[in-house]
Amino acid sequence: MATGLSNKLAGQTGEYLVCAELGRRGLIATTFTGNVPEYDLLVCDDALNTVPIQVKTSRGDNWPSRADLWLDIEFDDEQKKQINLGSRKIDHPDLIYVCVALGTQQGYDQFFICRKSDILAACIGSYTRWMDPKDWKDVWLCGHGRRGGVGSLKCARRINEKDGNTQRENHVSQY
């Protein structure tokens, strides 16, 4: 199981890898080391156009996320059932996300670029595929008050650091 320090180092590594890759591509990028709520990097081109970027890093190929960040979920304690009330309205749906899959060795990191709205769709799709066969009943989730689930995603565009190629990916991986 990953420790708090291990997770913090993975996140920090991902942010700096994205900054370095953007620098290679002629952009200036700076990290805020987790001190800005909505984004991790601010990126600027030579015309001074800026864009914020959120970075999510994993040591694997999925990025866990709580379902209740993306879905409006109500709990029926009597039936021990979750009720899916649909997608939450999210702020900044066009915010750029870069999901980093850290490689097992240097030079094998992967970058998945998408919008926050893609993350929303991926997490909702993953969670609903997981809960539909259970008829949205899950004693553990309701009994312990946990209000979330895990979504797994792969975003629209992957950049392979080793050769710089951009490849299309499916929006959502299987849960």
Q: What single-letter amino acid sits at 96?
A: I
Separation CA 146–CA 150 (nearest Å) = 12
pLDDT at 166 over 80: no
Q: Hey, what domains does the chain have and what are their CATH numbers?
A: 4-168 (3.40.1350)
For residue range 108-163, list pLDDT tens digits in order.
Answer: 999 999 999 999 999 999 889 889 998 888 645 543 334 343 334 444 344 444 44
Query: CB 91: neighbour CB atoms within 10 A?
Result: 8
Instruction: Tell me the whole-structure pTM to 2 decimals.
Output: 0.77
Q: What are phi and psi of 153, to 5 degrees?
A: -145, 150
**Strand blocks (E) in the chain:** 28-31, 41-44, 50-58, 71-76, 81-87, 96-101, 110-115, 157-160, 166-168
